[in-house]
Structure 1
Amino acid sequence: MAFIQDNTDTYEEIKIPVPWGHIAGKWWGPKDIQPILAIHGFQDNACSFDPLAISLKKRNYSILCIDLPGHGFSSNYQKGVFYNLIWDGVYIIHRIVKHFGWNSKLTIIAHSLGGAMALNYASIFNENVQKMIALDCIAPVPDNISDVLQNFGNCIDKFLEFEETDNETLSYEYEDIRDMIMETRKNAFTSAALNTIMKRSVKPSDVEEDCYVYCRDPRLNYSQNTLMAKSDMLSLSSNVKCDILIIRAKNGVTFNEWADELLEMFKQNGCYVDVHTVFGNHYVHLNNHLAVLDHVLNFLKH
């Protein structure tokens, strides 16, 4: 299959300067209004919101979909820097707010890991967020300390070992990267969804003809993304003041009893909370965005 390039006639490519390089993004819709900020999930990229962004743009909404560091067209962290994106997300979001000088409260739409990042931001900068839409995510999953003790040290060892290799420059045939993505996602993407996510998942190799580089920092495989017990997560999230829409996928992630406890706490704190379950898997917003579109539009108008 041939390499599919993005059609930049329908959005504006954005580069936000940061000390380690830049944060890339796709700005859909009017530039003279503050956009909805869209944050993708782990090892995805800004294209995961393309179907929703196109529909929102048609309704005169503005939406900025970013690539997280180490993902898509954004810069990787410097060598030696460890990824902990759920917490890194707080200053990543705040950097973007400061860069554009946004004065109005944020509306954030986020999927999976992005939802956990958004909730942490809404907890710490609770006066900055008006609305949060969480797609098949509700919060950072609380850690079991025994699992942390077993796995975290191993992640650090593998991270340090990786620094001694040259795997960051490996190139592949296009179809091989498609196969790798489908394997890691357990075939959860439709063919059309995979074509969409591939637009920012690869770029042509500078050294090997007809080969491509995977646009994802492989060090992400050795990151640790929570380090927070249930009591800490609930305590932090008790600061949230914004309206919240949670869209659960019927065949998506499992919401445990702590999730129900969290929702009840939001309601007791006076947050408007809207929860819907839609048919689909963890990537329903990309595979079939119409399943979530009306819920999103109704919430934005609330």
Structure 2
Amino acid sequence: MIDRRELLCVGLGTLVAGCLGTRPQVSGEPEAALAALEARSGGRLGACIIDTATGRTAGWRSSERFAHCSSFKLSLAALVLQGAQAGRWQLDHRLHWTQGDLMGNSPVTSAHVAEGLTAAELARATLVTSDNAAANVLLRWLGGPQAMTAFWAAIGDTTSRLDRLEPDLNVVPPGSVLDTTTPAAMAATVARLVTGDVLDEAGRAMLMSWMVEVQTGTRRLRAGFPAGWVAGDKTGTGLHPQSTIYVDLAFGGPAPLKGSARAPLVVAAYFVPPIGGGELNPAFEGVLAEVGAITAATIASEPIAAHAIR
């Protein structure tokens, strides 16, 4: 039986209460819907939803660990933008690699071996196309996977960690903490990145525009959002027989009306299917689409005043 404490987004109370001055209220309805979805799916589902406009949170297995797979690339792109913002490097700094650095799913880097790409171009490539070689080139330039872990800790996420490069980080046997996070920790991190002060306005706009460009999540969380919403995401997928998982991190909300804008909902969702390995399974992606629908149902459709999580 799941402990009631696992239904709450652990650690978010302090974060959001610090912004609003009150402890967030959590409705039982989203948790019940997430629990029922997990039961129907036959797998293991973890999710955390944050309404950044109100501070309201909801979650299921939100304090349990799940593998990042490629979803860490959202934070990697943010790290590149934040470092440039702080003056530690320039976004137009050109990086190079060799044919030997290429691997599966490296569509952008494989086309630019001769001339290389700028830090900004690599950040966009790893977020939008999930280019694996681009992620490794950036991680090595920044100091290795530990630089990613340090970035998370610096912005208040002491739970998430990155330990290996692509493609090794995608294989996380049960019980291992390597290359993992929790839905609560990552949802809070995504909220900080898209509504907080980790990035300046220009950096947030660039990061969110890249998330909107992502095409790998069209059957996941965003598929459950209303058609008129503005939304973006970053997926992660592990298809190893010992470590199969479907991940999606997203923001979404009603489009602005007459100059008003609603601060977005943020959701981090992780699904470990009952059957490991195999090919990409639309039915398992559909579980995350249902999480998206549950997320959308937590708010009314009218825009309200924005409120930033810091």
TM range (shorter): under 0.3
Taking structure 2 as the reference length, the TM-score comes to 0.25
